[in-house]
Structure 1
Amino acid sequence: MPYTPEKPKLAESTDELRARIPGWGADLDPADRPSVPKEQFDPDLSGAHWQFPERQPEKWPRERSIEHKFLTPVFGTSCPPKGLSGVIRRYSYRRFSEGRAAHWLLLLAADRVDTVESTLGSLLTRRPDNPVTETGVRSEFTHHGLSSRRRGHRVDRVHHPLDPVIVAAPWVLAGGVAYLILRRAIRR
């Protein structure tokens, strides 16, 4: 069982492993180990001062892989799932194993949806994001951005033409949607 101090039982015996894997168990003989004089063997001496670690309190239902029986004792809480991206993340964990590509592709899609949600949420606040200053576009003109892209052997040169599209696309899309909504409201 995971998260306990007991050592799991070996699936195969020592002799079976030695016969199947050349060199397996070469250090089993204490005479072959350099740490023998200092080594203590006590199966009860694991160093753990607990039988099962204290569980972190769960403030909201967390995502848990379907491979695991329960949530790990300690987990991250910095980015709780919210909105449509949270729904996509929960679906990915509930439906697919971590060994399936669909699980990870859904998590990637949830990250992209979260980016769009955050950008749209920023537009609804009193201080929306400023793409010019927050993406470093101004530094392109003040700190030799163009010349550094032309000279040298930069690895990221291939995607430079896409950078403005990736940065500007959400803003252009949001502006277009706002324009259509405003135009429809004025016509009514």
Structure 2
Amino acid sequence: MLLLPPPVGAAQRMRPYSGIGVLSISTVGLTAPIPFYNEPGLVRSGTLAPLAAQRLNDWLFTAVPDRVVLLVKARKGDWLRVERDDAGRESWLLVQRHWRYTPWPQFLKGAQVVFLPNSPKRLMQVVPQPEALQGTPRPATAPPMRVVMVQGDWAYVLLDASSAGWIRWREADGRLLVGFPGEPMQQ
């Protein structure tokens, strides 16, 4: 499944800030809403229904049955601050034993990525080395690339069986440049 731009006339979603990683929540057997807190363990600020949580980032990560993927902004022990809605509001939640937090370098390794349609064109390119100014443009509609390794904001990707190069996977300000049309190979 490729990430496609929204229909003409529909507002494009803002590219989210990447934060520090990804939280994957299995929804198998999850019937109660996910509780959120203003601060770890102190003041409950609301809940998020599993179905609503599943739809939250399905435009960024391929929708996988029985799984919710949330962007993690910070960590304090077993508590994670996550983005809880389309407006980018954040809350804390306590990680359950069957949930999995994965830092970005680990999550990206082996993942298929494509540039998000609303990424700046000047950054949608494959370059011979990180920080190179000129490269080969790569549109959001191009086939997915496979991430081999990550160095900071840069990822070394396989374009096909015979070519590879470097891409920025997030901007210097932390906004994501890539989406995930398929499952990572290893997790």
Q: TM over 0.5: same fold?
A: no
Instruction: Considering Cα pairs closer than 8 Å and 6+ residues apart, tell me whether 1 or 2 has the greater RCO.
Output: 2
Q: Which is strand-richer, 1 or 2?
A: 2
Name the larger-Rg structure.
Answer: 1
Q: TM-score, normalised by structure 2?
A: 0.21
TM-score (structure 1 length as normaliser): 0.21
Considering fraction of residues, name the structure with more helix: 1
